[in-house]
């Protein structure tokens, strides 16, 4: 027993020496000492690992090495480091690693987890197809406007009684994706639609496209598994993140009734009773600022989707070796104290100049940046704006417990910050 204990101790010491020498030999970024096998896992806040990373950056800087178990990981923190990597050195940071959750959902296929020529082909195809199907065009705007009317109708049927908006919002946002990839919407009580929402991976059957029978071309990535998984990526990413953002927006507006009232006054002045459109956005600066601040403050994907070093990368005088996981910590960008006046407070003034006009901030990166940024960004922006303007045009939102009962902190954190669920009241205006 004593002998085996000695062997374990020797093994641990040798592993630590190897990690130390490897760090010096490879010129790795600095970081906390790691234990054999488990790495820095014991140091991490399991409920919100990004908070641990942000705290450690005070000591180790904006480019930091950690070990998530045995996996060597480089963390990029703050706007400057993330922008320099994902935009200025975009070609070096396009890799996507073997992330277990994504691989289990997609079986290793699809846009989200692919690399190299496969990723390039699928991204070009996806962007082109989405544009052909109407993303970013008038046709897509009309789909969202139509879906807004259905959402408003469903909420009106609640007759100002308390309800949980989660189901309605999921159906609404999912229907936009259905219009995009299937060419039709579904009623909210359609059994097939509800089944589709519940177990997407078992019901997506996407093999009728002519592009999906190209298996006879050796270099083609347009085969059944890749296309199904790519649609699954779009469906999951395009449903949960956007519907959660809109649900969180309602929480914020109930928490701050004065902000809700000011938005409604602006909408009444500019839009009136007609159907809102994207052209209205430039005339609704306060509304636009609040919606941007909601996304910044929610920080829905704090860790982003990790990147991966497909080859040795030289970055800021360090070497990021091949097969290193890379996390551009979006949380540290959206809460960067150098870029935001009050990063830890909800403050629409972050997006308004002294004259009340909307102003951009380059550190607003909820959709990430560079060549791996979210392909559905323009769609999500359109949905968030049109759905919320339409809702506030028709309703004033309350919570039975009053504004003080609303907690804007996430229900739980990890890969995503998930908003808390509340029963709310929508009073027709």
Model pLDDT, residue 45:
87
Domains along the sequence of the chain with CATH: 45-428 (1.10.630.10)
What is the reported pTM? 0.85
Which residue stretches of the chain have pLDDT < 70?
1-26, 98-113, 129-130, 132-138, 195-212, 214-238
Q: What average pLDDT does the structure give for the chain?
A: 84
Query: Reduced to 3 states, what is the DSSP secondary structure of residue 54?
Result: helix
- In terms of phi and psi (left: phi > 0; alpha: psi -120 to 50; beta: otherwise), the region of 357 is beta
pLDDT at 170: 85
- Tokens read off for 208: 């009728």
Residue in 253, 264, 275 with CA at minimum distance from that of residue 429: 264
The structure tokens 């006879």 sit at 216
Residue-level pLDDT at 241: 85
Helices and strands in the chain: count of H runs, count of E runs:
14, 8
Give the chain's largest Cα–Cα span: 82
Look at residues 254, 201, 187, 253 and name the one whose alpha carbon lies nearest to residue 229.
201
- Among the listed residues 102, 150, 110, 104, the one whose alpha carbon sits nearest the alpha carbon of residue 126: 110
Say how far apart CA 123 and CA 126 lie, in whole Å: 5
The confidence score (pLDDT) of residue 222 equals 41
Report the pLDDT value the prediction gives residue 219, as an integer from 0 to 100.
43
Q: How many CA atoms does the CB half-sphere of 419 hold within 13 Å?
A: 27
Check residue 40 and give its pLDDT. 93
| Beta-bridge partners for 326 | 74, 307
Q: Reduce the DSSP state of residue 230 to 3 states and report it.
A: helix
CB-based burial of residue 365 (10 Å sphere; 0-12 exposed, 13-18 middle, 19+ buried)? buried
């Amino acid at each position: 027993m004593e002998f085996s204990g000695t062997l374990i101790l020797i093994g641990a010491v040798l592993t630590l020496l190897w990690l130390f020498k490897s760090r010096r030999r490879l010129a790795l970024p600095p970081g906390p000492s790691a234990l054999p096998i488990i790495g820095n896992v014991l140091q991490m806040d399991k409920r919100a690992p990004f908070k641990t990373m942000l705290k450690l950056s005070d000591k180790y800087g904006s480019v930091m090495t950690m070990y998530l178990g045995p996996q060597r990981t480089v963390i990029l923190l703050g706007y400057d480091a993330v922008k320099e990597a994902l935009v200025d050195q975009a070609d070096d940071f396009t890799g996507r690693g073997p992330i277990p959750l994504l691989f289990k959902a997609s079986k290793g296929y699809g846009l989200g987890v692919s690399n190299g020529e496969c990723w390039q082909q699928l991204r070009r195809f996806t962007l082109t197809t989405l544009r052909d199907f109407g993303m970013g065009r008038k046709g897509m705007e009309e789909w969202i406007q139509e879906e807004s009317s259905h959402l408003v109708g469903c909420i009106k049927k609640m007759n100002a009684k308390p309800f949980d908006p989660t189901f309605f919002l999921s159906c609404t946002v999912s229907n936009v994706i259905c219009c995009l990839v299937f060419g039709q919407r579904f009623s909210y009580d359609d059994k097939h639609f509800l089944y589709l929402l519940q177990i997407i991976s078992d019901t997506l059957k996407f093999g009728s496209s002519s592009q999906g029978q190209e298996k006879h071309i050796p270099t083609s990535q347009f085969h059944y598994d890749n296309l199904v998984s790519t649609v699954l990526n779009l469906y999951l990413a395009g449903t949960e993140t956007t519907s959660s953002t809109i649900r969180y927006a309602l929480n914020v507006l109930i928490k701050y009734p004065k902000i809700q009232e000011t938005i409604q006054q602006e909408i009444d002045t500019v839009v009136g009773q007609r159907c809102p459109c994207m052209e209205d956005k430039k005339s609704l600066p306060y509304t636009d600022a609040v919606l941007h601040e909601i996304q910044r403050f929610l920080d829905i994907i704090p860790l982003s989707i990790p990147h991966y070093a497909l080859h040795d990368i030289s970055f800021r005088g360090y070497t990021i070796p091949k097969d290193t996981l890379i996390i551009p910590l979006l949380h540290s960008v959206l809460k960067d104290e150098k870029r935001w006046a009050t990063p830890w407070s909800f403050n629409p003034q972050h997006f308004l100049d002294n004259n009340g006009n909307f102003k951009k901030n380059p550190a607003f990166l909820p959709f990430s940046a560079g060549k791996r940024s979210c392909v559905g960004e323009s769609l999500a922006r359109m949905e968030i704006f049109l759905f919320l303007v339409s809702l506030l045009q028709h309703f004033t939102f309350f919570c039975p417990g009053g504004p003080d009962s609303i907690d804007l902190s996430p229900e739980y954190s990890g890969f995503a910050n998930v908003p808390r669920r509340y029963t709310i009241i929508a009073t027709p205006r």
